[in-house]
Amino acid sequence: MRRVVRVNMSEKKVVVEPLPDKFAGKGGRWLTSLMVSDEVPAGCHPLGPNNKVVFAPGILTGTSAPNSGRISVGGKSPLTGGIKESNAGSPFPQKMARMGYAALVVEGAAGDDSRWLLKLDVNGGELVPAEGLQWKGTYEAAAILKENHGEKGAFMLIGPAGEAKMAMAGIAFNDKEGRPSRYAGRGGLGAVLGSKGLKAIVLDDTGAPGVEPADQDLFKEGREKLVDAIQSHDVTKKGGALNSFGTAVLVNILNEAGGLPTRNFRSGIFEGAQQISGEALAEAAKQRGGAGMRGHSCHPGCIIACSNVYAREDGSEHVSCIEYESSWALGANCGIDNLDHVAELIRLCNDLGIDTIEAGVTLGVAMEAGLAEFGDGPSAIKLLGEIGARTPLGHLLGQGAYFTGKAYGVTRIPTVKGQGMPAYEPRAVKGIGVTYITSPMGADHTAGYTIAPEILAVGGQQEPLSTTEKVALSRAFQETTAFIDSTGYCLFIAFPILDIPSGFEGVVQTVNGMLGTGYTGDDVGAIGREILQAERDFNIRAGITAAADRPPEFMRYEQLPPHNHVYDISDEELDRFWN
Amino acid sequence: MVLYANLGKYHPRGRGSEPFTLLLPRGSTVDDLLAELGLGRDEAKLVFVEHAARPGNHILQDGRKAAIFPPVAGG
């Protein structure tokens, strides 16, 4: 029997209930988005007692399916004012699923300045005062949790930014070695937990019953097909690009395509790209030795291993992980080409508990406003220090790029629905712009990663500067992604299954094997549509209508070098996405 | 010329992704360039010239920068 944990922060009560029948067979984003739609009044204040935070491991999480250790976190976003699903890979959801928990819902609010720790085991949970954790950075808080609850425990944490209810605050989960480094970063759900007074969750999975597929043979058949696809595809196999160079292998290719947003989206080319690339990371790991490594997995069962550990010059650990998005946001987007400065900015983000993308986009806007010079790493580090010190400027920056730009009268603010754009320039890659503009999440590349065919020649090849059929392309990607986000699979399985049909079959078979269902390939799109529509409907009820499905205006009239294009998919064409 | 990611091992002077200059006969194509470097299409998946991915029959112009990538992806 799959169960739901309800954590009432107003009454400090924890109740375990059976998962309602209407949610049977759902997981991940499917479950968080339907539960949020069902239970959260769309008009509520995101930081008030009527908002909820829903945690849900994917359908396959906790099984032996490869790369299936993802958790979705949902709620109403204080950054966008709309529905949010943000996900992360960690051992945490694998344990949670094996303990029999399909979802954990945090509701109500402590109503005072207290901080609480949820201790969860197979018999239920208990809220205890989060002694010694208040205002602690995530690294120190993780060390305290480890000391009090043992080396093996899995945890979730928010940082000081979440406690201060800043809209760029994310939610950290432990990696395999216990670092607070795996983030459901986007959309400010860390601030929602902060508003409720929940600082941390620790899991004790002693006696966990585990997860049993309904049809073992079908599950195993599907698993083998997916494993084969991952291990044979050039980008996901061992020694392939992701494993050898990490996601930051994209820095150079986006730069060569003229689509790497640079200095707050003023150019698509960064002259310092090579210095912050995956190739530079690999070279640093080789030269510096010590703690530095490539090919790190974020959870057991990940066979791609795209994560890394970056070492200081003396070989000591500086930070894990330097992702493409983080290296771009805090590097190229701020004009910073010093990898040690980028690493320190990422470490600070992790410690404060903030989204590296929103932080980097905000710093870019702050530089535009004259708070620091582009390229000045030490000044960027000081600006993040303002967030840590919770100064008035820190509170302002902590609300994100849109808020910061507005405060300083900046017109070049690269956001959609209040959320900062990720590392692909819409004026140079038109399809990803459709995803940013139409996704119910606000600007989010993972919602429909058209970069695969537009830049990487994965899943076909499409001309990035062309506007033709890009709405349909984004729609197809967004539907499939909503399904993948529900399975617990890492989105990077999309690369092999786009190119290798048996890999896609394997995904559907593992889901059917797990649930005893008879889904076909066509059902993948139908399920994705159901999820997207529920999210869209929530947003409409929250007052976020088609009028918000627009690019930032400056992208309509400022030509972006080197291609000198504006964003030229019309409003009418964009509206076709939902019509 | 720049060779990215694990193609850096084909750098003529063993310098990874450091740029270098290559002289080719006038009218040479992207395919000619790959042949000169001893690279097959399975390894050299994408060739960017002047900020766009180019097909094998694309004719290279004097003084242009070319960047070659193996299959890559990320997010």
pLDDT at A541: 98
Q: Strand (E) positions, chain B? A: 2-3, 46-49, 52-53, 66-69
* Residue-wise burial string across A139-150, b where 16 or more C-beta atoms lie within 10 A, e elsewhere: bebbebbbeebe
Q: Looking at the complex, does the CB of residue A117 fall below 8 Å from at least one CB of chain B?
A: no
Confidence of residue B75 (pLDDT cuts 50, 70, 90): confident
Distance CA A270, CA A262 (A): 6
pLDDT tens, residue by residue, B13-31: 988 889 999 999 999 999 9
Tell me the shortest Cα–Cα distance from B27 to chain A, in angstroms: 23
Contact by Cβ (8 Å): A175, A154: no
Q: Which residues of A touch B16 (CB under 8 A)?
A: 279, 283
Rama region for A477: left / alpha / beta (φ>0; ψ in -120 to 50; rest): alpha
Q: Looking at the complex, does the CB of residue A256 fall below 8 Å from at least one CB of chain B?
A: yes
Inter-chain residue contact A306 with B46, CB threshold 8 Å: no
Residue in this structure with the two tokens 């043992």, named with its chain if needed: A150
| pTM to 2 decimal places | 0.98
Distance CA A454, CA A547 (A): 27
Q: How far is CA A224 from CA A57, A495, A530, A545, B10, in A?
A: 22, 17, 29, 43, 35
pLDDT at A304: 98
Window 359-418 of A: residues touching B by CB (8 A cutoff) are none
Q: Which two tokens stand for residue B65?
A: 């920068």
Nearest Cβ partner of A562 from B51, B67, B72? B51
Nearest Cβ partner of B73 from A244, A279, A495? A495
B→A contacts (Cβ < 8 Å), by residue, are: 2, 4-6, 8, 16-17, 45-46, 48, 51-53, 67, 69-75
Q: For chain A (length 579 residues), average pLDDT per consecutive 10?
A: 95 98 98 98 98 99 98 99 98 98 98 97 97 97 94 92 98 97 98 98 97 98 98 96 97 98 98 97 95 96 97 98 98 98 98 98 99 98 98 98 98 98 98 98 98 97 98 98 98 97 98 98 97 98 97 98 98 97
Q: Looking at the complex, does the CB of residue A242 fall below 8 Å from at least one CB of chain B?
A: yes
CA–chain centroid gap for A458, Å, is 22
Distance CA B33, CA B50 (A): 15
Nearest Cβ partner of A324 from B17, B46, B74? B74
User: Which residue intervals of A257-397 are DSSP H helices?
Assistant: 278-288, 324-330, 339-352, 356-368, 377-389, 392-397
Separation of first and last alpha carbons in chain A:
39
Q: Which two tokens stand for residue A371?
A: 């708070």
3-class DSSP string for A323-342: CHHHHHHHCHHHCCCCHHHH
* Residue-wise burial string across B16-49, b where 16 or more C-beta atoms lie within 10 A, e elsewhere: bbeeeeeeeeeebbbebbbeebebeeebbbbbbb
Q: Which amino acid is at A331?
A: G
Q: Which two tokens stand for residue A233?
A: 């595809």
Q: Which two tokens stand for residue A545?
A: 């209508």
Q: What's the residue count for chain A?
A: 579
Distance CA A188, CA A439 (A): 17
Q: Return all residues near A444 (Cβ < 8 A) that are at least 6 apart.
A: A186, A419, A422, A435, A436
Q: How far is CA A524 from CA A460, A505, B60, in A?
A: 19, 11, 44
Q: Which two tokens stand for residue B18?
A: 């450091």
Tell me the shortest Cα–Cα distance from A446 to chain B, in angstroms: 7
Q: Which DSSP category does A458 fall into?
A: -
Inter-chain residue contact B5 with A241, CB threshold 8 Å: yes
